[in-house]
Copies of this chain bind each other. A is one copy, B any other.
Amino acid sequence: MTNYLARVYVRLKPTVNDPQGLTIKGGLHSLGFGQVADVRAGKYIEIRLASDDRSAAEAQVREMCDRLLANPVIEEFRFDLEEVAS
């Protein structure tokens, strides 16, 4: 078994309204960052898992995203996978 670190990035689909992002944008404008044109807020999840090999780990992380981490109706995800020592 090899240990992997998966970094999962979940964000709302571009067509979905993002009130959290709009609130952050408003806050940044209030702080004087008027050059900010748009903000989108999402989730960043780090998962450490043990797996036989890279392709098995990729399949597992993809299934985790599909079943729990992302809502496929309104969100999209991507991830990268890094082999780690411990």
Contact = CB atoms under 8 A, between A and B. Distances in A.
Given A36-B47, A37-B50, A39-B45, 20 more contacts: A3-B37, A11-B44, A21-B45, A24-B45, A27-B68, A28-B47, A28-B68, A31-B68, A33-B60, A33-B63, A35-B50, A35-B60, A38-B46, A38-B47, A40-B45, A41-B43, A41-B44, A42-B44, A43-B43, A44-B44
Interface string A54-74: 000000100110011100000
A11 B47 CA distance: 13
A48 interface: yes
Interface size class of A (residues with CB under 8 A): 20 to 34
Contacts of A37: 3, 48-50
Contacts of A47: 28, 36, 38-39
